[in-house]
């Protein structure tokens, strides 16, 4: 026992004449703590197992079985309709504006660009003081954008067409994390931002004051992605992380409502099913999965033996019938959400697909890649 | 380790799960029964055993995974780019050609996950060997690297040169066939680990994850206590049978597929495909005559009606007729509170109280007494969620009571009758002439007339407002 030898050594060296009570107590506490930590961990593991058993009890049918009644999808043709060139380095993130045609994109070299992707014109550009801008978001009003990355912050830039104004001048520093910013999203207004970080937490911020409104603790490692629930009484969001967990949070209380742990590797992307009753995830384990919130379990896995690279980004078509997933093998796979089969594979990008979002009216989706370009597919 | 370079000290398979999977693929490709049929390949005058053609690889992948030739070629290319298969002819370019070009499997000694990360010392020895063999005639980037390394690890340079000479001597003892193979293997390894400028670096990962120094997460007793508490709560939760949940997807699918432009197309046409923005114009947030699909969608659920600005306007009209318009206004005011600026909370709460809750208020809302009591108590210490209960009550009232009546009303029936079905865009006679793509005003442009500041503020105050578009 380590503390025994240490105390003997102390006695021997005559540094102390008798064994101090506090040292003894601390030493025994240390031992006690180790035992309790291990037993707590074991208890947690065994409870998780029991929880899975409970969840399995009500699982009386598989999704693809139920979906046998649904008509199979016909020929599927989607092509690149626009290619947006202008980033000088890997594109890491993008988001659509509510006007259905504008987008904001961010890249490794710190550049954040706002495009009218219909005309492919660049409308705004700002260079962040950091590299690897892994998160960006468009404000609901269309008047501002948010972004961040290795600077551990999330900053909001009002969009201005005033030629005399430098966009960077009106920059507002909102969120402060202790590790990289991996994702950000405005809530229903321009005045609140939700962030996810490599420091293992998510947080809700007031844009104007930069005040932290709520923080969300529970992930065991970096949080890589988040998505806000579309539900009518919306006050929840889902996050995914390097601990292979997807967690659903109550925005008001900061509590984790539900947690799912079935992936074998980091979860890079989470996205709600349009009804709000489920969400999909994309992971480094090369699978995408569907989790139902009412059944409280995973209900589908979208995978293929020939797909061995991680899925970096997922999103649903408007009806939720199709799941578009961008992968690290440069492709985009289109999945039939109900039947579980792959509908199509889209080639075009020349490096990893890092980000993918369907447009607000569902007419197209945009993919961003490490090949420096963004593509609009329809 | 620098960002973007291979993560040092970690297990490569953890960081790149695809490597493990690729290796399993490679192993099954070499299966004596089900794998690729290998044979001797002739390389000029030398015969190389255990080789295959590019075609063999592509065919095998097609058969094994039931994929198309395009996908098979793409996958095969990735395997080659990661150095698990290398070309014998033209070994400087890691590319898979679907023809008779000869390829071989990389020895596991040189697998990306085995020798991870590639060391500077090994690279120096490799370049020194090349330098000696080619008598100083290295390719540009290799020359640069050689010089750089010479400077950086100058203290061990004698060892480097000695090793290089030793390896070259040992190589001379081998048969020509073996020599060629070993050279190709080594070259492939270095193409993956030290790609020439311009070539993609397949080992590039992006910012390091699980960089635990600055994480807020500690897998300590508190963490596990929380996990245990979460599990206990979760066990007690009510769950819905899968069969019921999954039926929900089918119903949702049936309802929404006709409205999904990617699944069912859209009329008159998809702007991205035909460059015609009429679809957007006809579905703008506020138009005089909405489309039939849009009006139908308002009938799916209350949320669809409420979230569409045009739908909400119609709802307001209907509620006015029923003398319950204050419900919608109250709900909107509560949304403003929930998503508003932190510093305005007291102000907004007070405004809501004065307008909707105070006794004798002009637009008094009818909430049940219990909720009213709780709310009035709550606003003594205002916060952004203080109206939640009241808001929910009014929302449910509109949803369960007003909404069904709205759907049966003359107002809605007229909307349905008058709604337009856009005609399909006629196929252009000269399809190769691209239609001009017009830009649209950015939502970020401040409105020209009136008080721009106020308008700007108004814009950010109303969370559900969507920027106006040119009709």
Instruction: Give residue-wise pLDDT tens across range A104-119.
Output: 999 999 999 999 999 9
Substitution target from B262, B286, B308, B446 for chain A, most A beta carbons within 10 A: B262
Closest CA to B161 of B124, B123, B133, B120: B124
Mean pLDDT of the A95-101 span: 97
Q: Cα torsion for B333, B336, B337, B342, to the nearest 10°?
A: -150
- C-alpha to C-alpha distance for A90 and A108, rounded to whole angstroms: 5
Residue A252, chain B, CB below 8 Å: the answer is: yes
Question: What is the β-pairing status of strands A121-127 and A135-138?
Answer: unpaired
Closest CA to B200 of A354, A356, A352, A105: A352
* Residues in chain A within 8 Å Cβ distance of B384: 213
Substitution target from B200, B260, B435 for chain A, most A beta carbons within 10 A: B260
How far away is chain A from the Cα of B179, in angstroms, using its nearest Cα?
33
* pLDDT exceeds 90 at position A336: yes
* Residues in chain B within 8 Å Cβ distance of A61: 242-243, 246
Enter the pTM of the model: 0.90
Residue A31, chain B, CB below 8 Å: the answer is: no
Paired tokens of B470: 């040119």
In B179-267, DSSP assigns E strands to none
**Is the omega angle on the peptide bond into residue B268 within 30 degrees of 0, that is, cis?**
yes
Paired tokens of B87: 């070309």
pLDDT of residue A369: 98
Residue of B nearest to A204 (CA): B339
10-residue stretch averages of pLDDT, chain B, 471 residues long: 39 74 96 91 82 96 97 97 93 92 94 86 93 86 90 91 93 89 92 90 89 69 88 90 93 96 95 95 94 97 95 97 96 95 96 95 93 95 95 96 97 96 75 75 64 38 33 28
pLDDT of residue B47: 85
* Residues in chain A within 8 Å Cβ distance of B235: 47, 50-51, 54
In DSSP terms, which residues pair with A8 in a beta bridge?
none
* Residues in chain A within 8 Å Cβ distance of B280: 100-101, 361
Q: Per-residue DSSP letters for B400-430?
A: IIIHHHHHHSHHHHHHHHH-B-PPPPPPPSS
How far away is chain B from the Cα of A27, in angstroms, using its nearest Cα?
18
- C-alpha to C-alpha distance for B372 and B390, rounded to whole angstroms: 7
Mean pLDDT of the A340-358 span: 97
Residue of A nearest to B246 (CA): A63
| A177-to-A173, A200, A261 alpha-carbon distances in Å | 12, 10, 25
The answer to whether the CB atoms of A188 and B338 lie below 8 A apart is yes
- C-alpha to C-alpha distance for B249 and B201, rounded to whole angstroms: 42
Q: Which residues of A323-346 are buried (b: 16+ CB within 10 A; e: fewer)?
A: bbbbbbbbbbbbbbbbbbebbbbb
How far away is chain B from the Cα of A141, in angstroms, using its nearest Cα?
6
pLDDT of residue B463: 35
- Per-residue pLDDT of A272-319, as tens digits, reads 999 999 999 999 999 999 999 999 999 999 999 999 999 999 999 999
Give residues 281 to 340 of A whose Cβ lies within 8 Å of B.
284-286, 292, 294-297, 299, 304-306, 308-310, 317-322, 328-331, 337-338
Q: In what order do the strands lie in the sheet with A342-346?
A: A311-316, A322-327, A332-336, A342-346
> What is chain B's Cα-based Rg?
35
Q: Which residues of B365-377 are buried (b: 16+ CB within 10 A; e: fewer)?
A: bebeeeebeebee
| B441-to-A255, B184, B412 alpha-carbon distances in Å | 42, 58, 32
Substitution target from A174, A181, A275 for chain B, most B beta carbons within 10 A: A275
CA atoms within 13 A on the CB side of B148: 9
The answer to whether the CB atoms of B231 and A67 lie below 8 A apart is no
The answer to whether the CB atoms of A159 and B444 lie below 8 A apart is yes
- The angle subtended at Cα B17 by Cα A256 and Cα B204, nearest 5°, is 100
> What is chain A's Cα-based Rg?
24
| B199-to-A266, B90, B95 alpha-carbon distances in Å | 27, 16, 11
Substitution target from A189, A203, A266, A307 for chain B, most B beta carbons within 10 A: A189
The answer to whether the CB atoms of A141 and B270 lie below 8 A apart is no
Q: Per-residue DSSP letters for A115-129?
A: EETTTTEEEEEEE-S
The answer to whether the CB atoms of B256 and A36 lie below 8 A apart is no
* Residues in chain A within 8 Å Cβ distance of B239: 54-55, 58, 294-297
- Per-residue pLDDT of B81-136, as tens digits, reads 999 999 998 888 899 999 999 999 999 999 988 878 889 999 999 999 999 988 87
Give residues 92 to 131 of A whose Cβ lies within 8 Å of B.
97-102, 116, 118-119, 121, 123-124, 131
| B436-to-A99, B271, B276 alpha-carbon distances in Å | 19, 12, 9
The answer to whether the CB atoms of B246 and A82 lie below 8 A apart is no
């Amino acid at each position: 026992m380590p503390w025994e030898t240490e105390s003997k050594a102390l006695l021997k060296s005559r540094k102390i004449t008798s064994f101090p009570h506090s040292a003894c107590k601390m030493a025994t506490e240390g031992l006690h703590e180790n035992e309790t930590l291990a037993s707590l961990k074991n208890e947690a593991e065994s409870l998780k197992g029991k929880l899975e058993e409970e969840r399995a009890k009500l699982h009386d049918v598989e999704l693809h079985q139920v979906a046998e009644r649904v008509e199979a999808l016909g020929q599927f043709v989607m092509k690149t309709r626009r290619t947006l060139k202008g980033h000088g380095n890997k594109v890491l993130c993008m988001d659509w504006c509510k006007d259905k045609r504008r987008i904001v994109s961010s890249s490794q070299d710190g550049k954040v660009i706002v495009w009218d992707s219909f005309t492919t014109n660049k409308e705004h550009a700002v260079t962040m003081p950091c590299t690897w801008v892994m998160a960006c978001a468009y404000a609901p009003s269309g008047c501002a954008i948010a972004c961040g990355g290795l600077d551990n912050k999330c900053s909001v830039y009002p969009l201005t067409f005033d030629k005399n104004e430098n966009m960077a001048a009106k920059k507002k520093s909102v969120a402060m994390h202790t590790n990289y910013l991996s994702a950000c999203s405005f809530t229903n207004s321009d005045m609140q931002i939700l962030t996810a970080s490599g420091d293992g937490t998510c947080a809700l911020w007031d844009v104007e004051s930069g005040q932290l409104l709520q923080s969300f603790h529970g992930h065991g490692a970096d949080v890589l992605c988040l998505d806000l629930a579309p539900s009518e009484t919306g006050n929840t969001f889902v996050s995914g992380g390097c601990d292979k967990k997807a967690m659903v949070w109550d925005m008001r209380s900061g509590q984790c409502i539900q947690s799912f742990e079935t992936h074998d590797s980091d979860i890079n992307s989470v996205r709600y099913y349009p009804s709000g009753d489920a969400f999909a995830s994309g992971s480094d384990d090369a699978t995408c999965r569907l989790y139902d919130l009412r059944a409280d379990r995973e209900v589908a896995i979208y995978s293929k033996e020939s797909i061995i690279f991680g899925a970096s980004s997922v999103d649903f078509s408007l009806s939720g019938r199709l799941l578009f997933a961008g992968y690290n093998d440069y492709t985009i796979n289109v999945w039939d959400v109900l039947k579980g089969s792959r509908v199509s594979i889209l080639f075009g990008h020349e490096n990893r697909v890092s980000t993918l979002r369907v447009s607000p009216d569902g007419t197209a989706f945009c993919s961003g890649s490490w090949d420096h370009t963004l593509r609009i597919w329809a | 380790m620098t960002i973007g370079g291979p993560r040092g000290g970690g297990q490569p398979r953890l960081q790149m799960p695809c490597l493990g999977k690729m290796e399993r693929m490679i192993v099954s490709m070499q299966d004596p029964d089900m794998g690729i049929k290998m044979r001797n390949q002739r390389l000029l005058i030398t015969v190389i055993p255990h080789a295959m053609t590019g075609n063999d690889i592509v065919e095998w992948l097609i058969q094994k995974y039931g994929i198309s030739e395009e996908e098979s070629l793409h996958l095969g290319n990735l395997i080659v780019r990661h150095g698990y298969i290398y070309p014998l002819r033209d070994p400087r370019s890691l590319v898979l050609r679907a023809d008779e070009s000869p390829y071989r499997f990389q020895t596991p000694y040189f697998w990306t996950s085995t020798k991870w990360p590639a060391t500077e010392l090994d690279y120096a020895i490799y370049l020194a060997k090349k330098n000696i063999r080619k008598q100083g005639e290295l390719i540009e980037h290799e020359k640069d690297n050689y010089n750089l390394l010479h400077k950086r690890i100058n203290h061990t340079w004698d060892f480097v040169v000695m090793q290089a000479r030793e390896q070259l001597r040992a190589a001379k003892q081998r048969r020509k066939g073996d020599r060629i193979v070993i050279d190709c293997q080594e070259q492939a390894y270095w193409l993956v680990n030290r790609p020439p400028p311009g070539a993609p670096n397949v080992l590039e990962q992006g910012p390091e994850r699980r960089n635990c120094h600055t994480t807020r997460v500690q897998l300590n007793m508190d963490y596990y206590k929380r996990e245990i508490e979460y599990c206990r709560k979760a066990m007690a939760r009510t769950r819905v049978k899968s069969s019921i949940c999954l039926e929900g997807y089918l119903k949702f699918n049936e309802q929404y597929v006709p409205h999904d432009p990617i699944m069912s197309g859209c009329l008159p046409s998809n702007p991205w495909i035909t460059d015609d923005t009429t679809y957007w114009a006809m579905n703008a947030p506020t138009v005089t005559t909405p489309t039939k699909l849009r009006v139908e969608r308002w009938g799916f659920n209350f949320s669809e009606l409420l979230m569409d600005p045009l739908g909400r306007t119609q709802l307001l009209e209907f509620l006015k007729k029923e003398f319950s318009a204050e419900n919608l206004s109250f709900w909107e005011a509560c949304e403003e509170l929930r998503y508003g600026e932190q510093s305005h909370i007291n102000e907004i709460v007070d405004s809501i109280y004065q307008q909707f809750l105070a006794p004798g208020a002009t637009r008094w809302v009818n909430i049940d007494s219990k909720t009213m009591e709780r709310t009035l108590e709550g606003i003594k210490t205002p916060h952004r969620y203080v109206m939640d209960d009241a808001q929910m009550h009014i929302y449910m009232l509109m949803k369960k009571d007003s909404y069904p009546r709205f759907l049966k009303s003359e107002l809605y029936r007229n909307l349905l009758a008058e709604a337009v079905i856009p005609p399909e865009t006629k196929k252009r006679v000269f399809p190769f002439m691209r239609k001009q793509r017009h830009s649209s005003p950015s939502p970020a442009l401040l409105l020209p007339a009136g008080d721009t500041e106020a308008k700007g503020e108004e814009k950010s105050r109303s969370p559900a407002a969507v920027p106006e578009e040119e009709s």
